[in-house]
Amino acid sequence: MIFSRWHWTKIMAAAYQTGSSSSPTNLLQTLVTWLGVQGWTLDLSGADGTGWRAHLHKGGVYVNLRAAMNENIWPRDATYYHDYGAGGYGIGVYLGTGYTGGLDWHEQPGAPIRIDDSTTIGGGMNLPASGGDYHLFDDGNDNITVVVERSPGIFCHMGWGPAMGAAGQPEDFWYFFASSSQYMNTVISYPADRYGLNLSALPPASHGDKDYGSYGTGSQYVHTNGMVRVDTATFSGRWVGNGNYANKGYGYSGRFMRCSLNLHPNTQGTCDEDQFPGYQYILDRNHQTAFAGALLLPLHCYVKTDPDARWAPIGYLPTVFWCEAVGHGYSANEVYQVGGQDYMLFPHFAVLKGA
Amino acid sequence: MFEVGTATDYTDLLDRLDTFLTAKGSAFGLGYVGTGNGTFTDYSGGASSVAETFTITATSPTSFDVIGSISGSIGPATVGTPFAHAKIEFLISAGGTPFVAGDEFILSTAPKWISRRKTLGARVLATQGNSGSTAAQNLVDGKTALSAQGWQIASPITIPQDVEFEFFEAETITSYQMAAFSSSYSYMPKSWTFQYWDGDSWETLDTVTDYLLWTPSGVVTFAIGSPVSATKYRLHITAIPSTSTLIIGAVRLLRSDGIDAAFSQTIWQAPGNDGDSEILCGTHAFERQDADYFNWEVAAFDGYDAGASWRAQAGFHGLLYLPLWDDSIPYWFIVNGRRAIVIAKIDIQYEVIYLGLLDPYYSPDQYPYPIALGGTLAFGLTIPNWDSTSWRWNNATVQHRAFTHADPGGASPLYPQHLQMRARLWDGSWLGFEATVNDIITATPAATRGLIWPYRCGLSLLDPNLDDGYSLWPIMLNAGTPNTLGQLCGVACTSGQGVTAETLITIDAIDWLVLPNINRTDRDDFFAVALD
C-alpha cells in the first residue's frame, strides 16, 4: 500500500510505451522520439563515437543521454575514463541546466561535478549490445522512468524529473537516477554478481551500486547512481549524491545524500541507516504473506546538513517505490492496482503507470 | 474533531471523554482549497450525524453553502457565526485575506459513538486496612481478578468495621455480592448491615446476621428490597468469626442491569467512518490512594455481551495502562468514527492512548477488524503488587513509554502485554510492537518481533525540512511474519530537532500537536497527533 496521505502528488495524463530495442543506440533513439511526444524539446540527437548522444529539455531541466556501443562514454581527461573497463554497452544519463552545442556530451552546463577534479558525475544503464525490452513511463508531470529487461528476468533502470516528492523543499529539487554508476555504466567483465548487470537492479537512489571488492580501499563503498539538485543555500554545489565515500572516484560531489533504503547485502549498515527514517530492519518485511501483496514504500532521500551534520529530508522519488511484490505472488511486468492507480512491478521496485 | 480542556481528576477525565464520544457525531478529515486565509475551527458532528462528506463552499466573502453528500443542503453558514446543525457544527472565521466565491472546505462526519456500558466506580475506605498489598480498595476495582490480594486485616480488629464505598456519581444498587478466596473463606464476615448515606445519616438497606455459609471461592448475592440512589454505601460489619483475621475477596455493587457499579468501566462502540461498523473498546479506571496512583486500563473487545463482566467480554484484550493522577489534568481528545486518542498532561509529561482501528494495508474482506491499542504503561502478564510504585505516573522505566515508542525491555518470553503498542491480527490473536529495546534500536530485531516503523529503524540525526518545516512519517506496525498491518490513524513520526512538547506543525488545514515520549526529549523521542 502507498502512504496516500503523506506521499502523493497530483497526477496528470500519464504516458507509457513498451517495446523491444535492438541496441543501446536504438533504445536511445526510441526514447528520444517518445520524449518528443511528451513535450520535450530536442537540442541534439546524433551519432557520437560509435554510439549516439541526445540532449533534450523541458522547462529548465536539461537531460543529457549517451548510448555506448562498445566504448567508454565518461572521459575524465584525455586518457582515462570514469567507466571501468575497456568499453562496453549502455546508456549514460545526467541532468544539467543548459545545452551548449560545442561541448561534448559529458560537459554540458550545470552538470553534477566531482569534488577535486570537477568532471561530470552521472549514472547509467549497463546494457547488452542487443539492447532489451523496454518500458518508458511519464507520470504526466515530466517524471521519466526507463526500465529495461536487459536479459530474461534481469532489469535495469534510469530516470529523472523536475521535482522530488514534497518534503518542504524551498524550491523544486531535480533528480536523476540509474541502476549503475558511471563507473559501472559500460563494463562488460566484472568479478562478482552485480546488481543491474547480471542481477536485477536495486531500487533507484537506494545505494545499490557497490564498489568492487578488489578496487579502492574497501569493499563497502557505494558508487553514486542517484543525485538530487538542492538549493544553493543548502549546498553551493547543488548536486548531492548517494555514494557513501567522500572520494571523487565514487562520484562524491562534496555533500552526501542518503536514501531510506539500502538493500545491498554487502553495504548494509554503512550508509548511516539509523540516523533518519529508513527501512533497515524491515528489508525482508516488505511483502505480505497473510494475503498476496506488497507495500509500495517511498524512497525518501536526505541531505547531510552543514554544519550540524544531520540529515534533512529532501523528498522522495515521486513515481518509483520500493516494492517486493515480484516473487511474492506477483510477476515482473505485472500491473498492481492500488488506490485507483496502476503500478508496474519489477524486481525490488514498482513504477507508477497511471490510472 | 477534537476538544481541549482540563479535567479535575482522572475520573472526571473519563466522564468528559464519555460525553465527548457519545453526545455528538464526529467530524474529521478537514481539507481546504481556496484563496481566503480564514480559519475553520470548533468542528464536530451533531446529535444526528451520519457517515457523509460535507462540501462547504463560499458564495461570498461572508457566506458558505453547506452540502452533505447524504443530507443535502443544510446551509448557509455565515463567517464569524457558529454553524450548529444536528448533522454538523463548525465556525468559519475571517482572515486577513477574504474568502472568495468557490473557496471550499471538505469535512466528513460519522455517527456518535454508542456507550454500551459506563460506571465511574467507587473509592473504598475501611476502618482499618487502607494501605499495603491487601488494602480495601482492592475490593472493588477488579484487582482480585488478576491477583488474590483482596482486603485483609489482622488483630486487633475493630468491631464494628466499616467498609465505605464512595461513588463518583450516584448509583442505585439493587444487590451486592461478596466473594471469598478459596483458602480464606472462613475469615469472611459473619454479621453486617449494608447501608447507604442519605446526606445526614447511614440508612440500612439490608441486614445479615450469623451468616456461616461461605464456601471456597464462593460468591454470594444479597438482594436489596428497596433500592435507592446514593453516592455512598457501606458494609457495616458487626461480627466476625475470628478475632485474628478478616478477609474479603471482592465486593460487587450491582445495578438493576447487573453491572457492577463499583468497578469503573466503560465500553464504547465506535461506528466506523462508514457508520456501519461495531468497533468495541473501553476503559477501566482504578486507583490506590495509599500508593498514590490513579490509572486507566484500556481494552478492546470483539463483541459485546450485556451480561458479561468487563474482562469477560468476547475477545477481551487489556493489561495496558494509562497512569494518571488525582489532580487537574489538561487534556486533548481527538476522535473520528474509527478511533479515539486521549492525551493527558500529568505534571510535565504526556500520557496518550489510542483506541480503535488502524488504517490497514489490507482490504476489509481480508482484515475486517484491524483494531489496535496504545497505552503508556505495560508490565506483561505478571503485574506488580497493587501497592507498588511501578503503577505511578512517575515510573521512569521502559515499562512507561509512549505507544509510538513501545519497549519490551528484556522481557522473555515476550508477550503482547509487555508492549505499549498492540494490534489484533486477522486470526483474532494479538501482537505487540516495539520501537526500541531498552531504549536502543541498534540490536537487529528477531524475525518474530513486531516493529514500529520508523522508530525501530532509527532516526537519531533527523533534521527538519530545509524550509524549516517538518515532515511527518506514517507510523507503520510491521509484524514479523512479515506482514505490515497498516499505520496509525492521525499519529505520525517527526523529528524532535527544534521542537518542544505542544509545538504545532501545520500541514495543509490540519494542526499536528507534537508530543514527547512521556518526558523523554532525545531527537527521536517525538511524535505528532493530528488535531482533526
In chain A, residues with a C-beta closer than 8 Å to the C-beta of B336 are none
Which member of A278, A284, A293 has the closest CB to residue B457?
A278
- Nearest-5° angle of CA A101, CA A105, CA A110? 80
Whether B216 contacts chain A with CB within 8 A: no
pLDDT of residue A3: 36
Beta carbons of B461 and A314 less than 8 Å apart? no
Beta carbons of B464 and A290 less than 8 Å apart? no
Task: List the one residue out of A78, A76, A74, A77 whose CA is nearest residue A88.
Answer: A74
| More confident position, B149 or B397 | B397
| C-beta separation of A76 from A82 below 8 A | yes
**DSSP secondary structure letter of residue A104:** -
Whether B62 contacts chain A with CB within 8 A: no
Full 3-state SS string of B306-331: CCCCCCCCCCCEEEEEEEECCCCEEE
What type of residue is B376?
A: T
Interface of B with A in 443-482 (CB under 8 A): 444-445, 447, 451, 453-454, 456-474, 478-482
Mean pLDDT of chain B: 96
Q: Which residue has the cell 505480505?
A: A288
Calpha distance B234→B194 (Å, rounded):
6
pLDDT higher than threshold 70 for residue B147: no
pLDDT of residue B172: 98
In chain B, residues with a C-beta closer than 8 Å to the C-beta of A5 are 474
What is the C-alpha end-to-end distance of chain A, expressed in Å?
16
Chain A residue closest in CA terms to B480: A285
Which member of B466, B474, B486 has the closest CB to residue A168?
B466
Cell numbers of B138, please? 482492592
From residue A263, alpha-carbon distances to A148, A246, A260, B449 in Å are: 20, 21, 10, 20
Q: How confident is the model over B447-482, as pLDDT tens digits?
A: 899 999 999 999 999 999 999 999 999 999 999 878
Beta carbons of B466 and A231 less than 8 Å apart? yes
In chain B, residues with a C-beta closer than 8 Å to the C-beta of A1 are 361, 486
Task: List the one residue out of B67, B64, B20 whose CA is nearest residue B45.
Answer: B20
Which member of A230, A233, A310 has the closest CB to residue B462?
A310
What average pLDDT does this structure show over B151-178? 97
The Cβ of residue A324 has, within 10 Å, a number of other Cβ atoms equal to 24
- Nearest-5° angle of CA A232, CA A238, CA A240? 135
Calpha distance B455→B443 (Å, rounded):
13
Interface of A with B in 71-130 (CB under 8 A): none
**DSSP secondary structure letter of residue A285:** -
Q: What is the largest CA-CA distance in chain B?
A: 83
pTM above 0.90, yes or no: yes
| C-beta separation of B447 from B458 below 8 A | no
Q: How confident is the model over B331-364, as pLDDT tens digits?
A: 999 999 999 999 999 999 999 999 999 999 999 9
Q: Residue B430 — φ and ψ, nearest 5°?
A: -115, 150
Calpha distance A2→A4 (Å, rounded):
5
pLDDT of residue B75: 85
Which residue of B466, B467, B527 to mutate against A (max A Cβ within 10 Å)? B466
| C-beta separation of A221 from A182 below 8 A | no
Q: How confident is the model over A298-353, as pLDDT tens digits?
A: 999 999 999 999 999 999 999 999 999 999 999 999 999 988 899 999 999 999 99
Q: How confident is the model over A244-302, as pLDDT tens digits?
A: 999 998 999 999 999 999 999 888 889 999 999 999 999 999 999 888 888 999 999 99
Nearest-Å Rg of the Cα atoms of chain A is 18
pLDDT higher than threshold 70 for residue A215: no
pLDDT higher than threshold 70 for residue A219: no
Per-residue pLDDT band at A10 (split at 50, 70, 90): very low
Question: Within 13 Å, how many C-alpha atoms sit on residue B203's CB side?
Answer: 12
Q: For residue A288, give how far its alpha carbon lies from the nearest alpha carbon of chain B (Å).
A: 5
Which member of B457, B459, B464 has the closest CB to residue A282?
B457
What average pLDDT does this structure show over B128-156? 87
Q: How confident is the model over B205-229, as pLDDT tens digits?
A: 999 999 999 999 999 999 999 999 9
Q: For residue A91, give how far its alpha carbon lies from the nearest alpha carbon of chain B (Å).
A: 33
| More confident position, B143 or B408 | B408
Beta carbons of B467 and A1 less than 8 Å apart? no
Q: Which residues of B258-277 are buried (b: 16+ CB within 10 A; e: fewer)?
A: ebbbbbbbbbbbbbbbebeb
Beta carbons of A273 and B461 less than 8 Å apart? no
Tell me the percentage of chain A whose pLDDT exceeds 90. 82
Whether A271 contacts chain B with CB within 8 A: no
Whether B424 contacts chain A with CB within 8 A: no
Q: For residue A85, give how far its alpha carbon lies from the nearest alpha carbon of chain B (Å).
A: 38
Task: List the one residue out of B38, B30, B41 whose CA is nearest residue B60.
Answer: B38
Q: Which residue has the cell 464526529?
A: B26
Per-residue pLDDT band at B302 (split at 50, 70, 90): very high
Chain A residue closest in CA terms to B473: A6
Chain A residue closest in CA terms to B472: A6
Beta strands at A123-126 and B63-68: parallel, antiparallel or unpaired = unpaired
